Structure 1
């Protein structure tokens, strides 16, 4: 059979120079377009991967364990009179401060052990230092218990100068209440255990002498002109405590006195009224046959850290029960190495602590995150002194006559999976809760970094927005694409799509300053809209269907929806005008108060209802535009074939058009949900921005995106707070990726299933 070729085509010459140039240019354009699209697509994938990698780069350090490295070691000759009772470091970790039994205050280089400065306590003749304690709310305020039953209160501070551009740290020892020793224990008995608490109004000192607990209170009076503080002494009679007293601590708020006696018992004494102290409770601190070996406060003095001879360390703090009564509760436990705990050293600025046992094992822990960051054997014998620097970046370990100086890398101990996503029992709370509170006004603050309420708020805001937007957008898309006249569609569709161009900050501004007060004052009318407007539309539809055909046919096919505009406006006006009548008749004049008093549902002005309306308004154009295009793109021969076989327009819509367009409609809903999940300004301005977990439509929330927008400018670069905000961004990124991937899978299955129609 003859096969025609291009050269034989009549009237067309494909071999002319002009046509060859045209073909070459077209091939070049096709080639460039193909590679341009490929490079653009790969560029998008690369950009997404780079964003993901950068987020991981910022987030990964959060879950890194602590690391230590020995920097130097130096030997020291120790006699009985020079035995160190207390050690600490200053801010820069250049000077180590030590107090010995002979009252010597020495400041030595942490790197070499060379003594730089030396002072002496003004000890009474013939006395020595038996014990040292620090104020839990001010670590630089110390009290020295003496062998003659007296106490000396002093404070060490540091001044930094820069001679010849070199940093010089000069220590200073002061005596805020005078150099004279204060009598505490009668009959000149040695002070074996000591605790102090200093506030603006009162100084409390308690110490143990001959197994008897003694307390002295000093009321402060400040001179108005000279600002000189004078102390008015008052002896406090404490109740008897059973068993041999082993340790005693005064809470920083001077409400509680903790007395550990025997091997496992803790007596809680209420000293809020120093004239009538009384025993509140007695608590067993250990389980089975374990014995308490050490006890100290965590930063802030709200928590007690108890170590025992099995290597367990437990955290305790006061909890108020349903009867408004306080009780000491065991909150969480940590394990070092199974040997008796000898020391627990709290960090100066975080809720972490170090612990050592009598075999030389040292551990680094963090309470809120319930995290064991490091356990390692660092010496061959028991640790005599364990010191952590104020910035928690260095530590000193004294053992067997030598001192080792270690650098510590432990930047983000506050973070763990349980702290981020689980319920955490925070200090002062009645039970474990999900809480986000990243900052506070005091240094003793316990960061509450749970992302759960933020994730909950994100889903809550998206749910209420989609609840409003999805049915309206899809129903509008169906009518516009399938029933509306083409001329009317050409006007309506661009107007709705133009809504998407409205800045969300404007929508948030209107939602917060106009819509929220309107809903608050007309709440009954808003709910009446949901009933009266549909009823009005149905009544109008019934009336229109009952009209003579000549009137109905006077309106061109597909333009009937325009008649609903005044119906909707009038119905809405009627509903809003009935607000006062409905509230007076059914809700005693105030629906909000009725919800709170009768149903126990609190009402916040900026709430999820406001977000649902405002963000739903922002999401509707996205869903409408994509869904309308999908429905309108259904091949007409499918609709005509269905109608020709006797199906009604509604049956054709439900069984042919919507099924064929279902992949596009599903994609529209998923893209709309992605827009709702990632929305920032509307939820930021219209929700009250409170990170609470409450499904109540009348309560606010805080979303992940809004939280990032609010707190990122205030966060310290590289801090745990800063990196957790990046973690929130990573969670949003992964959520969007998973949802879009699932949506794409569903869309392909729908397309495959209904492509044969």
Structure 2
């Protein structure tokens, strides 16, 4: 017998080529794996890079400081700046209005007090409207509005301040006593002015506006009402809708009057605002004129707004508060956000956000002589007046409305009856309070995945068990590719069909959808029992393993029968309207595009994934195990349950987790087949909004770098973490099952 030579040149070359291929494959696989890991890490780091600014505090830097413009006019009663933070405006103690350059304090324009009388009170309608009310000793009130005209001579921006008198240069009669406290509220229909004397006498004057249809001239019709004397009164406020008047005393007692019937102004309620011996410092409206911010001498700022009670009556309710360690001297509201700043007696300035209930800055900006602070319109600047003059500070505070509690906790929003989890990122008006709770989106993601898996897992696993273990090989080779082909169907098509066809069909045949859950299993069992009792000559006509084909016409018939009998079932058991019965009798809200539709549609999309992996896992169980079990006397079913399924359990669990990951990340089906409403309700007849669907809807519309934009990146990061955790758990359990049943 000739000896084999393994060292021939051809074999050596072959071994070298094979070794080179092995090394190349090893290096290529390692590079590919590391690249995937690196790509995933880069995605994670990029998401964190976009999210991180949400949780950084505010920064403040001093830009300029100068003596008080027009010092001879006295300290400021009110100070502000225009949109570009280039021109400042202050109302001096003598009633003069001084416009000055924010950069260096140079006087741009000075408007003298239009009346010879001394200004005894000042009220600001709102920082946004620029309307001011000046009160005088003779009981008259002059309404003044500061405005800014922007021109571009020679291509250079020029801001020209001006003073307007929207109700004429003559003061209006508001009271028959010297005014020391004043409040004003203006709208398109009416103007309301509340006045008070030093002794606590108070009156309210209403000016109803009537516009001539032809000339456009507006005439005012006046009516007045006297109020009871309030001892020790400090301040007063008219509500934004001009329905209520609030008078607060120094001790913190609030008296509320109802102005809805001006011919009969009624006392509504007495509300204690403060605790203990603290004194009231300030009471003013937050932007939007819904929330009243109350500052006291202990350093506490509390938020109050009206909440409808059981009798549908509005009740001024305490919502939340923040506190500094020392007493306050001034408080300033942001013009466009729910933020405010406080100034204490030591010159410390703190900036807060009311919605997030968070402090974003606390820094000493002056000495104890500081008396007044004010935000610029964009909240990127802060004006501070003290004994030395005015200082302007640049404020970097981009995302004050975001905090851990506002994202994951319940928040009591303006106009709501109680704290809620709410996602509402935009609205039609500028007074909108952003609602960035991710809880409804995370809940909707879990809800959609749960109902999809509830439908998909039993069908996919049971179908895979039968296909891999009981079905005829020839039929298996046809069935499996068909089911796997379902995975190639675009999800946007499934979402389109679910939203426009299946959702209305399901609503019209809701009784059929529930009756089929009972009729179909019973019908299949009944047919199987009848088939088992058929003569052998008939049963032998169908080859072994092909019996499932007989069920196709049975299932189609039973489904058609349930749909056909749906009106009869509704008429006899639900008074002809099952949807009305669910809503009225059970008290369950019904939405056409709901979780039931998502369960069917998304379950249909997930079934091929779970089926294919499960079927491969079961089919890959060594035949020797099956044959050995059968040889020892076990039945096919016992072999399946006690031998095949435990051995294939790692693969089955992986299939379920991969299907769940697909359901969690699904976008188009959820987007098109649900109402896309971010609510927290596990009701199967209600819709939801998922993290993925929310990203698809709102990312294209969000402003780059805004809080909304970065919150969406945080939602993407949460989705990333969720899928990472699911996959990690899946791999851990799979390895455990592999070790446990690997000995089989």
Q: Would you say same fold, with TM above 0.5?
A: yes
Q: Is 2:693 the partner of 1:703?
A: no
Offset of residue 434 of structure 1: 0.9
Counting only pairs closer than 5 Å after superposition, residues 631-710 of structure 1 correspond to structure 2 as: 631-710=618-697
8 Å Cα contact 1:185/1:209 also seen in 2: no
Greater CA drift, 167-176 or 668-677: 167-176
Counting only pairs closer than 5 Å after superposition, residues 447-526 of structure 1 correspond to structure 2 as: 447-526=434-513
Q: Which residue of 1 aligns with 2:603?
A: 616
Q: Which residue of 2 aligns with 1:40?
A: 32
Q: Which residue of 2 aligns with 1:218?
A: 207
Which of 188, 194, 200 is matched with 2:182 structurally?
Answer: 194
Q: Which residue of 1 aligns with 2:293?
A: 305
Instruction: Provide the C-alpha distance between the structure 2 equivalents of 1:464 and 1:632, rounded to a whole number of angstroms.
Output: 28
Q: Is 2:134 the partner of 1:144?
A: yes
TM-score normalised per structure 2: 0.98
8 Å Cα contact 2:69/2:100 also seen in 1: no
Greater CA drift, 63-72 or 35-44: 63-72
Instruction: Provide the C-alpha distance between the structure 1 equivalents of 2:347 and 2:110, rounded to a whole number of angstroms.
Output: 29
Offset of residue 149 of structure 1: 2.3
Greater CA drift, 136-145 or 240-249: 136-145
Q: Which residue of 2 aligns with 1:131?
A: 121
Instruction: Provide the C-alpha distance between the structure 2 equivalents of 1:368 and 1:603, rounded to a whole number of angstroms.
Output: 32
Which of 308, 325, 330 is matched with 2:318 structurally?
Answer: 330
Q: Is 2:96 the partner of 1:99?
A: no
Counting only pairs closer than 5 Å after superposition, residues 215-614 of structure 1 correspond to structure 2 as: 215-238=204-227, 240-336=228-324, 338-614=325-601
8 Å Cα contact 1:197/1:203 also seen in 2: yes
8 Å Cα contact 2:69/2:105 also seen in 1: no
Instruction: Provide the C-alpha distance between the structure 2 equivalents of 1:270 and 1:426, rounded to a whole number of angstroms.
Output: 24
Which of 51, 72, 79 is matched with 1:87 structurally?
Answer: 79
Offset of residue 80 of structure 1: 6.8
Instruction: Provide the C-alpha distance between the structure 2 equivalents of 1:217 and 1:571, rounded to a whole number of angstroms.
Output: 72
Gaps of 5+ in 2: none
Greater CA drift, 547-556 or 325-334: 547-556
Instruction: Provide the C-alpha distance between the structure 1 equivalents of 2:498 and 2:671, rounded to a whole number of angstroms.
Output: 10
Instruction: Provide the C-alpha distance between the structure 2 equivalents of 1:461 and 1:277, rounded to a whole number of angstroms.
Output: 53
Q: Is 2:49 the partner of 1:57?
A: yes
Offset of residue 318 of structure 1: 0.8
Offset of residue 11 of structure 1: 6.2
8 Å Cα contact 2:69/2:107 also seen in 1: no
Instruction: Provide the C-alpha distance between the structure 2 equivalents of 1:517 and 1:254, rounded to a whole number of angstroms.
Output: 46
Instruction: Provide the C-alpha distance between the structure 1 equivalents of 2:488 and 2:677, rounded to a whole number of angstroms.
Output: 28
Offset of residue 387 of structure 1: 1.2
Offset of residue 221 of structure 1: 1.1
Instruction: Provide the C-alpha distance between the structure 2 equivalents of 1:704 and 1:164, rounded to a whole number of angstroms.
Output: 51
Instruction: Provide the C-alpha distance between the structure 2 equivalents of 1:326 and 1:11, rounded to a whole number of angstroms.
Output: 105
Instruction: Provide the C-alpha distance between the structure 1 equivalents of 2:2 and 2:241, rounded to a whole number of angstroms.
Output: 104
- What are the Cα deviations for residues 472-509 of structure 1, in whole angstroms up to 9, with x where unaligned? 00000000010111111111001000000111110000
SS at match of 2:379: coil
Distance verdict in 2 for CA 1:82–1:290, change over 3 Å: closer
Q: Which residue of 2 aligns with 1:3?
A: none
Distance verdict in 2 for CA 1:118–1:12, change over 3 Å: farther
Instruction: Provide the C-alpha distance between the structure 2 equivalents of 1:277 and 1:437, rounded to a whole number of angstroms.
Output: 37
SS at match of 1:359: coil
Greater CA drift, 274-283 or 43-52: 274-283
8 Å Cα contact 2:69/2:98 also seen in 1: no
Greater CA drift, 531-540 or 223-232: 223-232
Offset of residue 76 of structure 1: 2.7
Counting only pairs closer than 5 Å after superposition, residues 715-730 of structure 1 correspond to structure 2 as: 715-730=702-717
SS at match of 1:275: helix
- What are the Cα deviations for residues 7-47 of structure 1, in whole angstroms up to 9, with x where unaligned? xx946544443333333222222111111110000010001
Offset of residue 331 of structure 1: 0.7
Instruction: Provide the C-alpha distance between the structure 2 equivalents of 1:611 and 1:465, rounded to a whole number of angstroms.
Output: 7
- What are the Cα deviations for residues 332-364 of structure 1, in whole angstroms up to 9, with x where unaligned? 11112x222121111000001011122211110
- What are the Cα deviations for residues 201-229 of structure 1, in whole angstroms up to 9, with x where unaligned? 10111111242112211111112223221
Offset of residue 534 of structure 1: 0.6
Instruction: Provide the C-alpha distance between the structure 2 equivalents of 1:342 and 1:697, rounded to a whole number of angstroms.
Output: 54
8 Å Cα contact 1:78/1:401 also seen in 2: no
SS at match of 1:647: coil
Offset of residue 146 of structure 1: 2.1
SS at match of 1:237: strand
8 Å Cα contact 1:137/1:300 also seen in 2: no
Offset of residue 136 of structure 1: 3.0
Instruction: Provide the C-alpha distance between the structure 2 equivalents of 1:162 and 1:41, rounded to a whole number of angstroms.
Output: 59
Offset of residue 134 of structure 1: 1.4
Offset of residue 521 of structure 1: 0.4
Greater CA drift, 744-753 or 562-571: 562-571
Q: Which residue of 1 aligns with 2:105?
A: 113
Greater CA drift, 228-237 or 515-524: 228-237
Q: Figure out how many residues of one structure are paired with residues of the other and give that number.
A: 743
Instruction: Provide the C-alpha distance between the structure 2 equivalents of 1:74 and 1:620, rounded to a whole number of angstroms.
Output: 72
Q: Which residue of 2 aligns with 1:4?
A: none
Offset of residue 137 of structure 1: 7.5
8 Å Cα contact 2:69/2:106 also seen in 1: no
Gaps of 5+ in 1: 1-8
